[in-house]
Chain A
Amino acid sequence: MKKMVYSCLALVLVMAISACNNSNNTASPSEPASSSPAAAAIASSGAPTTAVNEDGVTPAGTYPIVEEPLTLKVFSVKPDNVLDLNTNEFTQWYEEKTNIKVDWDLVPKTGSAERLQVTLAGGKFPDVFLTANLTMPQLVTYGSQGIFLPLNDLIDQYAPNVKKMMEQSPYIKDYMTAPDGNIYALPNFGETLHTSMPKKGWIYQPWLDELGLQMPTTTDEFYNVLKAFKAAHPDAAPYSGAAAANNEPESYIMQSFLFYDNSNYLYMDNGQLKFVTDSPNYQEGLRYLHKLAQEGLLQKEAFVQDRKALTALAENPGEPKVGAVASLFWGHFTVNDGDSGRYLAYQALPVLKGPDGKAYGNDRGFAPNQIGAFTITNMAKNPAAAMRWIDWFFDTDNMYTDGWSSFLGKEGVGWERAGAGEVGLDGQPAKYKVLQTFGVDQNHHWSQTAPTYQSDAFRRAQAAVTDDDQETRLYQVTKEKYVPYSAIEMKVPPVYMSADDLTKFGDIQHNIVELVKQFEVGFITGSLDLDKDWDKYLKQLGSAGLADYRVLMNKSLENRNKH
């Protein structure tokens, strides 16, 4: 009986309070939703400075985000090196700032894809999917099924930092926009120069010196250098690579013949979409590689071995067993900071100029490393709050005003402002210095938990740590030997298939890519003849669906241009 009375009282109390809140909101004149939130805030007078508008949030850029504490249910992949997100220092700081508490559903990285699927299939989702590495096809599919909300308007109204990002780096819009014109997710995005041109070549400088040779700049010079290497060091492979990302031997060389992207084998030529076989130089490039292979200058193992075997070659005590290597950076084929010093002895080769005197540097531009790093689901009770919650992460300059960075930590502990004489990666004055090593277990910041936008300017402003700082070396090498030859205008813009075309395209792309790989390897190693079997190659490409491949790609390109 007593219980009944008390619960009735409680009920009445709650109703009274909520009635009050409602009247507070309705006291403000009913502005149309698209008017500026600032106006709405001013209009709801009498309320404290953090007044919420009819979407339940304070104006963009002001904190806390909500009046009443709000809980946001977030699904995320367990971040490396962060001990416990619930007790993490950054978590506490950010919660206080925003008045939003996070209820984490953390899934171990292994098998996170399966967990994601069953969560989606289970019909009960969290408010937000964070850093779950959703691909555009997934976003397109689930977005069209209504699971993920379109973010365009929310960004416009509540995410000034995201808007700034889209203005500063406009090409990111291409990556973010689905074929139906909607943006279903925010990306995780850092502009790192050296990864924009990943197909690099490296050469063992001591051998160049001992043979009195110059760093080659053309394919002919490279050929001669390799021959000289072979003569002087018959036991070693003059040029090699591995079957691992960016270690494929043909990608580095093909940059001298055409714009070669081994994920889709397409390129743009004056606004026209072309396939590798359309280029007059493609066959020449394969012929060159075939010549290298035939004369023992390119070892067959390059197509098969893993990085471990490649490293074994380069790190061979005494004399290395490989002269030139294709790799993103030296750490993938030598021991970085190793006692042998090989990581320093291999110097970067420039993009070689081909027989026509031109170079077509493979430049992928600054591509986000996760396209679907933040989505709001249709189960979110307050989407505006969610958008405002993520917006803070997208401006790295916040760390100077707030004293906190989500991936570096607290000022003075994880990072600090750079001193007067310190220089950044590009030789210009640095702005900040990182104090804690990346990859160490800690509970002080969020590491990679939340997506961020690290502009090129921000990355460059990081103070170099030591004299032979790796980041600086990577930056310089790319700037001097690769950027000048960039053929980024020939890169195919990011293009996405609509939900209907996805399946068909997936099959065709798989077939085409596999076929090209097969034939190329055959031509290079000699099991196929470049002249006699070329027609067979073209014919098989045809039956694998090359025509449809072009049609679908063109369709998506036109669609994109419309938006």
Chain B
Amino acid sequence: MEENRLVRETGMDRAFTWFNYLFIGLVTVSVLYPLIYVISASFSSPEALMSGKVWLLPVEFGLEGYKAVFRNSEVWIGFGNSLFYMAAGTAVNVVLTVAAAYPLSRKDLRGRGVVTLLFAFTMIFSGGMIPTYLLVRDLGLLDSRLAMIVPTAINVFNVFVAMAFFRQNIPDELLDSAKIDGSSNFRFLISIVLPNSSAVIAVVALFYAVDHWNSFFEALLYLSDENKYPLQIFLREILLMNNTDMMDMDLVAEQKRMYMSELLKYSLIITATLPLMILYPFIQRYFVKGVMIGSLKG
């Protein structure tokens, strides 16, 4: 047995493994570059950046960029709000998405084709910014935190991702045996489907969480109270604030600000992205689990 395996592993498989590692290595290095560049740039001086001196490592090390970002207490308000929207929003999202995706994945559901089409259609056609705004206004959601959660409660793309998963990974036999056992649909969903779908739930939750964290447009349109603003609004304000091109005011000061805005681009990315990067390893473990409980074989 052992020898068989060893023999098979040489030749094609060894070559494959080599190429694989090489490929991954190249991909990693090439993708690592922008990352390092951004980190280095965020720790450089504005002048060095504007003179194109920064290539890989920080030039004229300094913390000006970060100081500018954190100078305002507003940034912390934004952090807090974004965390809230992300947590509450994602919870709502996941529940509704699963509630939509599971039934649609069932081949025996009459009318699922129609409902799927109903959902798919909205991915292609949309009423636009103004009608949606008027709707939110008429529902009384303007300037409320709910405006950041309700109008974006479901992203149809994620519904379809989950739907595909359910179809692929919950075999019909499992459902049949559960029915024979007299289990209801709810019971089946909760005790069998969900535990086995941690991978897709993790993926979908991640997608929603990231969308919430990066959300900006909804806040811009619907919120007026600064205390409710998410992080992105403050960050973009800081960036744009330094980016005016007003010709007749103090040119020299304007130019200083434009230099600063170049630096800010980088420190803002790091600031905004760091929390997400920290989040990822926690989600990642779900991609490793999610193995089918061997309920079929019994």
Contacts and interface: CB of A to CB of B under 8 A. Distances in A.
Interface string A433-447: 000011101000000
B251 to A, nearest CB: 6
B256 A311 contact: no
Contact of B244 (A80, A195, A307, A312): A80
Contacts of A117: 129-130
A89 B81 CA distance: 29
Contacts of A338: 47
B50 A118 contact: no
A173 to B, nearest CB: 19
Interface in B204-223: 216-217, 220-221
A370 to B, nearest CB: 9
Interface in A286-327: 307-309, 311-312, 315
Contact of B133 (A107, A121, A329, A474): A121
A438 B253 contact: yes
Contacts of A78: 237
* A-B residue pairs, 10 tightest by C-beta: A312-B52, A331-B255, A190-B248, A192-B248, A438-B253, A110-B236, A315-B51, A439-B253, A438-B250, A118-B133
Contacts of A329: 251, 255
Contact of B249 (A190, A245, A441): A190
A122 B51 contact: no
A308 B262 contact: yes
Nearest to B47: A335
Contacts of B134: 121-122
A311 B249 contact: no
Given A117-B129, A369-B248, 6 more contacts: A109-B240, A118-B129, A190-B248, A192-B247, A470-B251, A471-B250
25 contacts: A78-B237, A80-B241, A106-B224, A108-B220, A108-B236, A109-B240, A110-B220, A110-B239, A114-B221, A118-B130, A191-B248, A192-B247, A309-B52, A311-B51, A331-B251, A332-B255, A335-B50, A336-B252, A336-B255, A369-B246, A438-B249, A439-B253, A448-B246, A470-B251, A471-B250
Nearest to B224: A105
Contacts of B221: 111, 114-115, 118
Give the size range of A's interface with the partner: 35 or more
A331 B252 CA distance: 7
Contacts of A122: 133-134, 137
Nearest to B222: A118
Interface string B129-154: 11001100100000000000000000
Interface of A: 78, 80-81, 105-111, 114-115, 117-118, 121-122, 190-192, 194-195, 198, 245, 307-309, 311-312, 315, 328-329, 331-332, 335-338, 369, 437-439, 441, 448, 454, 470-471, 474
Give the size range of B's interface with the partner: 35 or more
Contacts of A369: 246-248
Contacts of B241: 80-81, 109
Given A81-B241, A109-B237, A121-B134, A114 B249 contact: no
Nearest to B255: A331
A448 B249 contact: yes
Contacts of B256: 336, 439
A338 B255 CA distance: 12
A23 to B, nearest CB: 40
A192 B250 CA distance: 10
Nearest to B142: A122
B245 interface: yes
B192 to A, nearest CB: 46
Interface string B47-85: 101111100000000000000000100000000000000
